[in-house]
Structures are given as structure tokens and as C-alpha cells.
Structure 1
Amino acid sequence: MLKITPYLGILVIVVAIAGLWYPILGYFMLVVFGTLLVISPLRGRWFCGNLCPRGSFSDFWIAKISQNNKIPPILRSLWIRVPIFLLMMGFMVYRLLQTHGLFNQIGMVFVIMCLATTIIATLLGLFISPRTWCTFCPMGTLQHILGKDRYQIQLKNDKCIACKKCDKVCPMQLEVRKALSEKDCIKCSRCIEICPKNALAFKN
């Protein structure tokens, strides 16, 4: 996790709310999209755990009032995620084609997408777990596919004492020691930081 990570959540609110009056803010979504496209082939879902504004919003805002229930495993399935990705991307393209290239209308499409997904993510975060949305987020799914096995966690078995502290802090609810090659690890480093024996580390 970066020092700036806890503060990025405010950007979601700015784009989703202020963007209704200032559509130009919607173009921030293109910056997000471009950044994750560059990072994900090198570090998988690192963007999700360190630079994603919605991820920050979920971790440091929603988490305070979430019911923290177990995330339904089915949401992690690509059979669910890929159709959602195609549906949302298809809808976005359809809406963009209707703008006829008008600058503000294009920006508003991105604002509405941000607002709609933020509402969904917030509701899921409140009633299930803060990072529920992240298990099937279209951008997370794209990083899941592009990232492959990049930048995975490595376990030093001789140091591990099976205390499971790593599992308890994982925002994605992964069983860390059993999911070392899990593509949906968001590389937030929480498991590494909390390990009392320094048994975990990233490998390039």
C-alpha cells in the first residue's frame, strides 16, 4: 500500500457527484483506465490495491460501517465476471456512440458509469464486504486476465507459523497461504506487513 492510497477515495466522490455538473471530470476515468492498462501486464492487480480510488473508498470509508460478511464465491467466477465485463463495456460503447463526439456528453457517459458502479459497490460493501465489488469489477477482471501470474506472493514455508493473520487482513478474503498464485490478489501488501515472521514477500 502506498502512503497516498487512503486518500484516493475522495476522487470517486468528486467524479461521481461533482461530475454531474462538470462532465469534464468524467475524463478522469480515462486516466484510470490507461494507468491500469500499463501496470496490469507487469504487476497484475497491483493498481486495485494501491491506486484505485474506488478500492480506497471501499477500504477506508465503507469498511468502517460494513457488515463484513463472507463474499459469495460465485462472484469470483469468470462465468459471472466476463459477461458483466462485456455487458458494461457494451453499454458504455453504446452510450458513447450516442454522444456524436460532443465533449461534455462523452464526459457525462463516464460520470454516469462511475456513479452507477459506485452506488453498486457501496451497497455491496455495506451489506456484504467492502471489497465485494472488486471480485467482479470489470476493470479488475481485465487486470486479472492481463496480469496472469505477475508479481505474486511467495511464502517461506520454514518461517510460516500458520497464525492466519494474513488471511484476516486480506480485503479480498483470500486464504493467503493457499492462494499464492491467485490472480485476484490486489497486491496491497497487508498480509506481508502483518506477518510476524516475515514469511511473505512479493516475487517479480
Structure 2
Amino acid sequence: MLKITPYMGPLVVIVSIAGLWFPILGYFMLLVFAAIFLIAPFRGRWFCGNLCPRGSFMDFWVGRISGKRKIPKVLKSYWIRIPLFMLMMVFMGYRLMNTQGLVNQIGMILVIMCLTTSSIALILGVTIAPRTWCTFCPMGTLQSIIGVNKYPLLVDIDKCIKCYKCEKVCPMHLNIVEITHNPDCIKCGRCIDICPKDALSFGKSTKNS
């Protein structure tokens, strides 16, 4: 992860809370969306593990009080994630069309969206695991689809001793050893840092199978 990653968390709190009084802060969400669309085609969910304010907040703040249970596999299902993404886009689009282009109203809609999703993420983060929301986050799902085979995590089988330390530190609870590449890998690099045999690395993009 980047050196600034642990310090990104307060931004989501500022937008969610201060934004209720200063709606213009909601436009920060547009910067997030722009970054996602610029990065995902080349590095998949790299944004989630390095620049996402909510992800940082969940990892380094909520992680201190989280139950740290196993994330339910059902939440990773695209049967849940795709409908949720479509529902959120339709709802937000409908709300935005009724703003008549007023700057503060648009900003407030973005603030409310940030506050609502962050509240859900907080509840799930405390009761289950910090990155529970991230497993079915609509923006995370979009990134995993756009950058499905980009900047994959690779495992050198000859070096791997299957100590599973990588899976213990993975915030997304991925099966790293058995599945050498997963589109929901957020490229945080914690598994690489902890591997005692240097068996993990990020490689070049792979072609769609």
C-alpha cells in the first residue's frame, strides 16, 4: 500500500458529516468516481487498497474494534452485487434528475449517498470484518469487472510453502494460495510484505480466458 493510505480515512468522515452543512463537499465523490474509472482499466481494484478513504477508515480505525469474523461467501456473489449496483445507479440517477442542476442539491445527494453507504460499512465492519462492505461495494464490483485481469497477484508455486500467512492478513479474505488471481484483490500488497519466501508478486495483465 501507499504511505498515505492509513491517513485517507478521515476524508470519508468529513464528507459524510461536515457535508450535511456544506453540501459542496459531496463533489469529492465525483473525484473518487473519476479516479476509479481512470485506474481500474489498468490495475483493477488498486484504488480500493491504496486510495479509498472508506477502505482506509475501515482498515485502520474500525479494524481496532471489529469482530473480525469470516466474511460470508454469499456477499461475494454477483447475484447480489450486480442488482445492488444497478439499484444504486438508478436511484442516484433519479435523484439527480430532480435537482434541476442546483449545485447544493446535487452535492447533498452525493453526501447522503456517502453517509448511507459508510454507515452500512461501519455496522458490517464492527459486527463482521472491516472490509465486509467492500466485498459487495457497487464501485468495487465495477472495478473488478472493468479490470478483471489487470495487475494480477501471482504465486510462485516453487517458492510457496503454504504457510497461509498471506491469507491471514488479506483484508478481503481471499484464497490466495489456491486461487492465484482474484478480480476482487485490492492490490494492497500486505500478502507480499508478509510472505517469508517472496513467493508473491504483482504481474502483468493477463488475457481474458
Give the gaps of 5 or more residues in structure 2.
205-209
1:89 corresponds in structure 2 to: 89
Q: Distance in 2 between matches of 1:162 and 1:177?
A: 7
SS in 1 for 2:154: strand
Once the 2 structures are TM-superposed, how far is the Cα of residue 154 of structure 1 from its aligned partner?
1.1
2:185 corresponds in structure 1 to: 185
Instruction: Describe how 1:11-160 pairs up with structure 2 within 5 A.
Output: 11-160=11-160
Once the 2 structures are TM-superposed, how far is the Cα of residue 164 of structure 1 from its aligned partner?
0.6
Q: CA RMSD in A?
A: 0.6
Query: Taking structure 1 as the reference length, what is the TM-score of the superposition?
Result: 0.99
Once the 2 structures are TM-superposed, how far is the Cα of residue 50 of structure 1 from its aligned partner?
0.4
Once the 2 structures are TM-superposed, how far is the Cα of residue 179 of structure 1 from its aligned partner?
2.4
Q: Distance in 2 between matches of 1:163 and 1:178?
A: 12
Query: Taking structure 2 as the reference length, what is the TM-score of the superposition?
Result: 0.96
Instruction: Give the letter aligned to residue 36 of structure 2.
Output: L
Q: Distance in 2 between matches of 1:109 and 1:30?
A: 12
SS in 2 for 1:15: helix
Give the gaps of 5 or more residues in structure 1.
none
Once the 2 structures are TM-superposed, how far is the Cα of residue 148 of structure 1 from its aligned partner?
1.3
- 2:167 is the counterpart of 1:167: yes
SS in 2 for 1:149: coil
SS in 2 for 1:30: helix
- CA distances 1:13-48 after superposition (whole Å, capped 9, x unpaired): 000000000000000000000001010010000000
- CA distances 1:179-203 after superposition (whole Å, capped 9, x unpaired): 2221000000000000011010000
Q: How many residues align?
A: 204
Q: Distance in 2 between matches of 1:179 and 1:188?
A: 17
Once the 2 structures are TM-superposed, how far is the Cα of residue 159 of structure 1 from its aligned partner?
1.0
Q: Distance in 1 between matches of 2:56 and 2:13?
A: 11
